């Protein structure tokens, strides 16, 4: 039996893992094959850094997310940069390596033979929108391209510094979370995304690979039209976060057997309102469209009580991905 890190490597590399790897995202991580370490910090030190807690009150960039005490990360209160700053006015957060890595030793001990994934939590253009506000951000790309370039490039420089730090501390992959989809399509045209953002992400992903890190990329919404672009520029694990709004059949026809996917049972539909049998059937559907016997599929389980997910359905999601292997080996 392969160690759990090797299972993940084999799924990513299409070298026939013994079973489908599973990630438990926001709780019960030791039930899965991957453990997540949060790299983001607030402006003030965490109350207990050893817990690697996710404190979103005021991010180190300066933006604030207001919690609704509903189990979500909250929503932005106001732009940190109501006016687009000049390049000289942009101040990168300090690296704070000792504080940022205060929980690593305990994390590694708990992690054991699991895959170690360092997460930026939110990244790229999503951070830009939190600094400038969503409407300003959409306008900046077209109306203030030089100011936009200065700020987005500063964000990516800082993220690259964090990737270097993660590599120094023995992580296997870097997790980026940058939403590009709405429920029905993309926030910007595919042509604009390819012209403005794709080259920047390609350089960032190339650095991750130079550092020996896999690139795990989360994207909410309908990313159907640019899924192949993520593969082209080096995403190793593409998290199709909302398979209920993505044309997984089309994405599979383009990328099945080439791209490794991390996919949940939809936490807007099936995992919330479905029966255990329906959850199992959805896991089979997703695997059949996106996975192969050689690899390319990682099950994703997240507790979403804030969306109405029952404890029974949460357990069923994990069982559904475990059953994929049993069904194929019987």
Residue 79: per-residue pLDDT: 86
- Mean pLDDT value across residues 115-141: 96
Which stretches of 144-266 are DSSP H helices?
Answer: 145-168, 190-192, 198-210, 227-232, 248-255
- Mean pLDDT value across residues 199-222: 97
Bridge partners of 174, per DSSP, are: 118, 215
**Domain edge (last residue) among 201, 223, 241:** 241
Residue 24: per-residue pLDDT: 97
Distance (Å, whole) CA 2 – CA 147: 49
Instruction: Tell me, yes or no, whether 23 and 41 share the same domain.
Output: no
The domain of 315 spans 1-32+248-330
Instruction: Tell me, yes or no, whether 106 and 211 share the same domain.
Output: yes
Pairing of strands 75-76, 65-66: antiparallel
Residue 327: per-residue pLDDT: 59
- Mean pLDDT value across residues 298-319: 95
pLDDT score of 76 more than 90: no
pLDDT score of 2 more than 80: no
Instruction: Tell me, yes or no, whether 205 and 257 share the same domain.
Output: no
Q: What φ, ψ does residue 7 adopt, rounded to 5°?
A: -60, -45
Residues 115 and 5: beta-carbon distance below 8 Å: yes
Quote the percentage of the chain above a pLDDT of 90: 85
Instruction: Tell me, yes or no, whether 83 and 211 share the same domain.
Output: yes
pLDDT score of 320 more than 80: yes
Give the pTM: 0.94
Distance (Å, whole) CA 85 – CA 212: 34
Instruction: Tell me, yes or no, whether 76 and 168 share the same domain.
Output: yes
Instruction: Tell me, yes or no, whether 70 and 197 share the same domain.
Output: yes
pLDDT band (50, 70, 90) for residue 57 = low
Instruction: Tell me, yes or no, whether 65 and 82 share the same domain.
Output: yes
pLDDT score of 47 more than 60: no
Instruction: Tell me, yes or no, whether 191 and 154 share the same domain.
Output: yes
Q: Indicate which CATH number applies to the domain containing 131.
A: 3.20.20.210
Instruction: Tell me, yes or no, whether 68 and 57 share the same domain.
Output: yes
Distance (Å, whole) CA 317 – CA 26: 14
Instruction: Tell me, yes or no, whether 161 and 82 share the same domain.
Output: yes
Which stretches of 14-117 are DSSP H helices?
Answer: 97-100, 104-111
Closest CA to 38 of 147, 197, 175, 228: 175
pLDDT band (50, 70, 90) for residue 45 = very low
Q: Which two tokens stand for residue 210?
A: 């130079």
Span 233-253, pLDDT tens digits = 999 999 999 999 999 999 999
Closest CA to 50 of 106, 120, 97: 106
Instruction: Tell me, yes or no, whether 57 and 180 share the same domain.
Output: yes
Instruction: Tell me, yes or no, whether 23 and 167 share the same domain.
Output: no
Closest CA to 75 of 85, 65, 84: 65
**Domain edge (last residue) among 192, 220, 241:** 241
**Domain edge (last residue) among 241, 258, 283:** 241
Q: How many separate domains does the chain show?
A: 2
Q: Which two tokens stand for residue 235?
A: 């995403």
């Amino acid at each position: 039996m392969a160690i759990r890190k090797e299972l993940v490597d084999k799924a990513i590399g299409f070298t026939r893992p013994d079973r489908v790897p599973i990630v438990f995202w926001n709780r019960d991580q030791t039930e899965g094959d991957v453990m997540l370490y949060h790299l983001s910090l607030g402006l003030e030190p965490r109350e207990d850094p050893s817990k690697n807690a996710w404190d979103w009150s005021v991010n180190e960039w300066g933006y604030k997310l207001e919690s609704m005490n509903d189990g979500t990360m909250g929503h932005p209160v106001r732009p940190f940069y109501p006016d687009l700053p000049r390049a000289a006015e942009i101040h990168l957060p300090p690296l704070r390596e000792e504080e940022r890595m205060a929980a690593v030793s305990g994390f590694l001990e708990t992690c054991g033979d699991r895959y170690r994934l360092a997460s930026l939590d939110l990244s790229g253009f999503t951070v830009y929108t939190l600094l400038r506000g969503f409407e300003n951000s959409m306008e900046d790309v077209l109306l203030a391209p030089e100011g936009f370039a200065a700020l987005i490039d500063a964000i990516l420089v800082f993220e690259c510094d964090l990737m270097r730090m993660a590599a120094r501390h023995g992580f296997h992959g870097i997790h980026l979370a940058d939403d590009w989809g709405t429920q029905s399509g993309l926030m910007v045209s595919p042509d604009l995304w390819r012209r403005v953002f794709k080259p920047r992400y390609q350089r960032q992903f190339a650095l991750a690979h130079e550092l020996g890190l896999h690139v795990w990329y989360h994207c909410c919404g309908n990313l159907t039209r640019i899924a192949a672009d993520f593969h082209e520029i080096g995403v190793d694990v593409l998290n199709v976060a909302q398979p209920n709004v993505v044309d997984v059949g089309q994405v599979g026809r383009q990328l099945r057997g080439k791209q490794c996917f991390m996919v949940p049972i939809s936490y807007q539909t099936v995992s919330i309102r479905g029966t255990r049998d329906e959850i199992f059937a959805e896991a089979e559907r997703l695997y059949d469209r996106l996975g192969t016997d050689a690899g390319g599929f990682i099950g994703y389980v997240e507790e979403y009580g804030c969306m109405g997910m029952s404890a029974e359905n949460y357990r069923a999601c994990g069982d559904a991905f475990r059953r994929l292997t049993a069904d194929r080996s019987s």
